[in-house]
Structure 1
Amino acid sequence: MGIVTIMRYITVVIAWEDYIQSKNDQQMQRGINDPREVWIDGTLVATQEAIQYLNLLDDGTVVGVARFRGDADRLATIEDEIPEIISCTVTGGETWLAYIHYKPGELETAILERIDTEAISIDWPMRETADGLEVTLFGEDAALQHLIAGFPDEVDVTLERAGEYQSDMSDPAGQLTNRQQEILRTALTAGYYDIPRRTTQRDLAAELELSRGTIGDHLRRAEAKIIRSMIV
């Protein structure tokens, strides 16, 4: 019988000196209250929703793809204003992608190199938070521990969550318990979410032989998980 390898995941928040200092840049400034905001010359230009991809190239530069909402055309001008930005191409729409090629700081380079050297993977996307960059990594437990231990001293790493990795973790349905999925599926089939509604929580409680309070609690928790996964 072969050895079964259990994949683990960790969600960490990574902060480093370059990240903190970038909030005080005079030309391109992160929002003081919301680090996802991008301000150029005192004007709020765009808000970053997620970092879809980052890759450290052989020449030491980075290419990244991030999802934004705001003024796409204005954000695209940063390549003319910020020396570290080599190029910036944007797509259209209410929410859009920015493809950015830039020169990273020394610590950002060290972090990306560290991740590349370990037998781990990134569960995209990454997200900005008030404290740093939130990243979910998965791989064997030993590799994850070795990765964290090897970060430079100037990098602050805070562990947010850890556990057994499942491939559908980023899928909103994969975040629901079995009971929440059962109740939500029954509610959908019975028309609870139709307009107008074709059933009530009392009806669902009778069908599933649960109390009305239990039905309401499970629906609220399931709805909250799905909403957070879509917009946070």
Structure 2
Amino acid sequence: MMLIEIRGDLDRYREIMTETQSVHEYSISGDNSGYCYCRVEMSPLIELLVERQRTEEFIVEFPIPITDDGGYQITMVGRAEAFANAPSTPPDGIEMELVSMSPYQSHPKHVFSELTERQHEVLKIAIQLGYYQNPRQTSLQQIADDIGITASTVGKHLRSIEKQVFSTYVQ
């Protein structure tokens, strides 16, 4: 069983789930983004990864994105020694390509992760100074003075932030 966050054409996603023989049942909620609960037979690759997680010292980062050519882009996290000891040949029917190795950096997947550094700064100061309290405790000019930009720029940043946040939740 899986719970998957999905974005895009959910009707197309429903078609894919209906047409895929390994999917036993599913339920999709949302309009342009949402969640899919499904019960599926694991593919040989996913079965291999789950089994290896039980016996090796690494974890697989989910969700696993599907590439444009239908492959999987799998991020595995662990110490270099764990990968050095892992079998180097994939099972029959599975092709693997090492794309890169690097120190792991978590990529938060939440509504605020798409904001620019400046937008984060403006939002943080606006919250600290009470801009979103009722009644409002500060003005755009006070936020601007604190950061060193114009009030109109602060307003522009806050509107962009609000659009991003609200469009994620309100469809």
Sequence identity of aligned pairs in percent? 17
Aligned with residue 41 of structure 2, among 88, 102, 105: 102
Question: Alpha-carbon deviations, 1:147-195, whole Å to 9, x = none?
Answer: 5x73528212322x743556x8445668989886443211344538xxx
**Structure-2 residue corresponding to 1:135:** 74
* 1:120 equivalenced with 2:61 (yes/no): no
Distance in 1, Cα, partners of 2:27 & 2:59: 26
**Structure-2 residue corresponding to 1:163:** 103
Of Structure 1 and Structure 2, the greater strand share is in 1
Letter in 1 for 2:131: G
* 1:186 equivalenced with 2:138 (yes/no): no
**Structure-2 residue corresponding to 1:154:** 95
Offset, 1:99: 0.8
- Aligned CA RMSD, in angstroms, stands at 4.9
C-alpha contact 1:120 1:137 (8 A) present in aligned 2: yes
Moved more, 107-116 or 169-178: 169-178
Question: Which secondary structure state, in structure 2, belongs to the residue aligned with residue 157 of structure 1?
Answer: coil
Q: How many residues matched?
A: 149
Give 1:2-41 correspondences, 5 Å limit.
none
* 1:85 equivalenced with 2:22 (yes/no): yes
Distance in 1, Cα, partners of 2:54 & 2:114: 28
Distance in 2, Cα, partners of 1:174 & 1:86: 32
Question: Which secondary structure state, in structure 2, belongs to the residue aligned with residue 88 of structure 1?
Answer: strand
- Which segments of 5 or more consecutive residues in structure 1 lack a partner in the other structure? 1-62, 193-197
C-alpha contact 2:22 2:40 (8 A) present in aligned 1: yes
Offset, 1:127: 2.1
Structure 2-normalised TM-score?
A: 0.52
* 1:207 equivalenced with 2:139 (yes/no): no
Distance in 2, Cα, partners of 1:137 & 1:127: 13
* Alignment CA distance shift 1:137-1:171 (3 Å): farther
